């Protein structure tokens, strides 16, 4: 009765094609539980570890990028400040150079004016000395010529030096007086 009765009983009632077999269901559930345990124990931690590494890499990259951006911004600001300082320094140096150039030019003009005044004064002194020498030379020549001429006109010798000197001085004084009157009349 064992097997035969079970088979006969089973043969008499036919199973529904939509109803699952309980044994197959049990095997599938146990297989699913084992597979779920293996995935949960080994695969999910590897995925979690990979996700964590990727997240860390992305966040680290973002942090590095933010840090690099901050450093670049700081470097740019420093560069701009240095550029402003350099321009300010260049302007200051340019103004100092202009000031020094103007001072040097003023000093050179002053020295040139002083040198010109000295040369002019020296030239006046030299001209005055040469004029005095010319006057003395001219007086002696004019006196000698006048004495010789007067001797010829008068017919007697005027070799007396005192007398000839008086005649020459009087003649020159008359000439200077006439020249002064002519100059005064023309002005």
Model pLDDT, residue 8: 47
Quick: pLDDT tens for 11-52.
Answer: 556 767 788 888 999 999 999 999 999 999 999 999 999 999
Quick: pLDDT tens for 118-127.
Answer: 999 999 999 9
Give Rg (Cα) of the chain: 67
Distance CA 86, CA 66 (A): 30
Model pLDDT, residue 177: 79
How do the domains of the chain map onto residue ranges?
41-180
Q: For the whole model, what pTM was predicted?
A: 0.38
Q: Pick out the chain residues at pLDDT < 70.
A: 1-13, 15, 154-165, 167-168, 183-187
- Residues 164/143, Cβ–Cβ less than 8 Å: yes
């Amino acid at each position: 009765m064992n097997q035969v009765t079970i088979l006969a009983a089973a043969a008499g009632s036919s199973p529904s094609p939509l109803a699952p077999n309980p044994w197959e269901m049990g095997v599938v559930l146990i297989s699913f539980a084992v597979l779920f345990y293996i995935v949960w124990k080994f695969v999910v931690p590897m995925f979690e570890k990979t996700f964590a590494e990727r997240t860390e890499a992305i966040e680290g990259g973002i942090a590095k990028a933010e840090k690099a951006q901050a450093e670049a911004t700081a470097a740019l600001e420093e560069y701009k400040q240095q550029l402003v300082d350099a321009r300010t320094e260049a302007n200051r140096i340019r103004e100092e150079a202009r000031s020094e150039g103007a001072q040097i030019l003023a000093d050179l003009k002053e020295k040139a004016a002083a040198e010109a005044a000295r040369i002019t004064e020296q030239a006046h002194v030299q001209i005055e000395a040469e004029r005095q020498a010319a006057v003395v030379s001219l007086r002696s020549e004019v006196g000698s010529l006048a004495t010789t001429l007067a001797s010829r006109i008068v017919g007697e010798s005027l070799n007396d030096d005192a007398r000839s000197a008086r005649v020459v001085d009087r003649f020159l004084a008359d000439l200077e007086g006439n020249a002064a009157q002519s100059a005064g009349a023309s002005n």
